[in-house]
Amino acid sequence: MSKWIIVVDDDMANLKMAGHILSKNNMRVSALKSGRKLIEYIEENGAPDLILLDIMMPEIDGFETLKLLRQKEIELGIAETPVIFLTADEESATETRGFEVGVADFIRKPFNPDVLLKRINNIVSNTEKISTLKTEASTDKLTGLLNKAALGVTLTKICSEESGVLLMIDLDSFKLVNDIYGHEMGDRVLMGFADILRSLSKSGSTLGRIGGDEFAAFMPSAFSDSDVMEFTKNLNDKLFSKAKELMGEEMDIPLGVSIGATFVPKQGNDYNTLLKQADKALYIVKKNGKHGAKIYHADSFIDADMNNVKMDIDAISEILGERSIPDVALQLEKEAFSYVYRYVMRYVIRYHIGACKVLFTLNTTEGLSDETYRDQCDEFGNHVRQSLRKTDILMRGRHNQYFLLLTDIREDAKDSVINQIKNKWYEKFGKGIDIVSQDEMIVG
């Protein structure tokens, strides 16, 4: 497949020369005369393999265009496109500034065809290699789905930002396939199931293999309770048909799927907590005939737990208590946070206790990649939770904002708490992100 290169230059002669050289070498070329046109073009047509971008242009120069390009890529949710600056400037300061903002290389004008082609080929080739290595590192080799590690990273981010349903999927009686037909056949069944899972999943779904015959999936918000049940039935029907196809019509293993589901953010937005919820629901399916689905609802699962214990005040307190809650601040999704926030405000006012509201906003700094920025925004929530007391609560308002409510705190102590959170972060992670804080003391 030919490489697609966009050339951006306000000089028509340069556009024609670059277009001629690249087209002659079997590359697809798009020629644009301004940075604004580039941003509009990518929004409508997608990103190329590489961009040749002139630095000196009217209206907005190459540096400003690159900044707008990176913002547009974040907005569109696409990977950063490698950019080569085109320049007649011999100043080393220009090159230094370019590399600081993330440009891949420089090419002097007028073009030397051999240099132009070699640098383009080197950068595109390296980009493809890096992309391949990333894919291999995140992909389960047998099924082609995300592996456990990549799934955890991806779903941690998705569950904190999006609405949908998290599914834990377990193959019923799969061990019999390995025992009777051998592990090679077991692998073929797993590969076939992965294909079925992909074919039945809605657009925008995230699919992965946790290990063995366990899978997980996140379906977008259009998924409803009835969709989960229908999805489960279709998986069972198609898997059984595939098993017959692979092992013969005489195959009589009760192969199928059991699914535990939990809705996001209705039941929270912490991936590990949600996974445990889905696992609880899956356990009930496994204990009650398999080949079906169960949806986690907090109230009904608390009731189910209570039916299995002595119903006295100690038992109920233990079930509703903090047996497995770590000694960190409590992070809640928006709806739950609003209830707790209103309750705490009433308590503070009534009993004249000091509390403090804090908003942390995380801004990217020059040279920080979008992927690293988003990862650090995710990690900052864990950092705050571990830095605060168990009585404090926080909420993630946007991808780069955390709202905290510090309970029972004196006004002369709040700055110390806020500065400690910032300083410990900078000590551990450096100043890749700029942490801006606002605070407001509440005294009843």
Phi and psi at residue 170, in whole multiples of 5°?
Answer: -130, 135
**Domain residue spans in the chain?**
4-137, 148-306, 330-443
Q: Are the C-beta atoms of 183 and 235 separated by less than 8 Å?
A: no
Average pLDDT over residues 84-108: 82
Neighbours of 331 (CB within 10 A): 24
Average pLDDT over residues 84-97: 81
User: In this structure, which amino acid lies at residue 34?
Assistant: S
Residue 250 has pLDDT above 70, yes or no: yes
pLDDT in tens, 380-402: 988 898 889 888 999 988 889 99
pLDDT, greater one: 288 or 320 = 288
pLDDT, greater one: 373 or 437 = 437
Residue 327 has pLDDT above 90, yes or no: no
Please report which confidence band the pLDDT of residue 436 belongs to, taking 50, 70 and 90 as the band edges: very high
What does the pLDDT read at residue 274? 92
363, β-bridge pairs: 434
Helices (H), 50-112: 62-76, 92-100
pLDDT, greater one: 1 or 329 = 329
What does the pLDDT read at residue 170? 95
Indicate the class that CATH gives domain 330-443: alpha beta
What does the pLDDT read at residue 133? 57
Min mean pLDDT across 77-81, 327-331, 375-379 is at 327-331
What does the pLDDT read at residue 110? 82
Please report which confidence band the pLDDT of residue 319 belongs to, taking 50, 70 and 90 as the band edges: very low
Residue positions counted in the chain: 444
The whole-angstrom separation of Cα 52 and Cα 265 is: 43
Residue 326 has pLDDT above 80, yes or no: no
What does the pLDDT read at residue 176? 92
Architecture of domain 4-137: 3-Layer(aba) Sandwich (3.40)
pLDDT in tens, 193-205: 999 999 999 888 9
Average pLDDT over residues 161-174: 92
Average pLDDT over residues 237-247: 94
The whole-angstrom separation of Cα 52 and Cα 31 is: 10
Q: Which fold has domain 148-306?
A: Alpha-Beta Plaits (3.30.70)
Neighbours of 165 (CB within 10 A): 27
* Token duo for residue 20: 């001629």
Burial class (CB in 10 A: 0-12, 13-18, 19+), 163: middle
What does the pLDDT read at residue 309? 44
What does the pLDDT read at residue 222? 64
pLDDT more than 70, % of the chain: 91
Phi and psi at residue 267, in whole multiples of 5°?
Answer: -100, 15
Neighbours of 129 (CB within 10 A): 10
Please report which confidence band the pLDDT of residue 323 belongs to, taking 50, 70 and 90 as the band edges: very low
- Average confidence score pLDDT of the chain: 86
Most confident range, picked from 50-54, 369-373, 378-382: 50-54
Domains 148-306 and 330-443 share a fold: yes
Task: Read off the DSSP letter of residue 146.
Answer: B
Q: Are the C-beta atoms of 252 and 236 separated by less than 8 Å?
A: no
Min mean pLDDT across 128-142, 277-291, 327-341, 403-417 is at 128-142
403, β-bridge pairs: 359, 395
Residue 361 has pLDDT above 70, yes or no: yes
pLDDT, greater one: 419 or 329 = 419
DSSP string, 7-18: EE-S-HHHHHHH
Residue 324 has pLDDT above 60, yes or no: no
pTM over 0.85: no
Residue 413 has pLDDT above 80, yes or no: yes
Please report which confidence band the pLDDT of residue 255 belongs to, taking 50, 70 and 90 as the band edges: very high
Cα 364–chain centre separation:
17
Q: Are the C-beta atoms of 245 and 252 separated by less than 8 Å?
A: no
Average pLDDT over residues 280-303: 82
pLDDT in tens, 107-164: 888 878 888 888 888 888 877 766 655 555 678 889 999 998 889 888 998 998 888 9
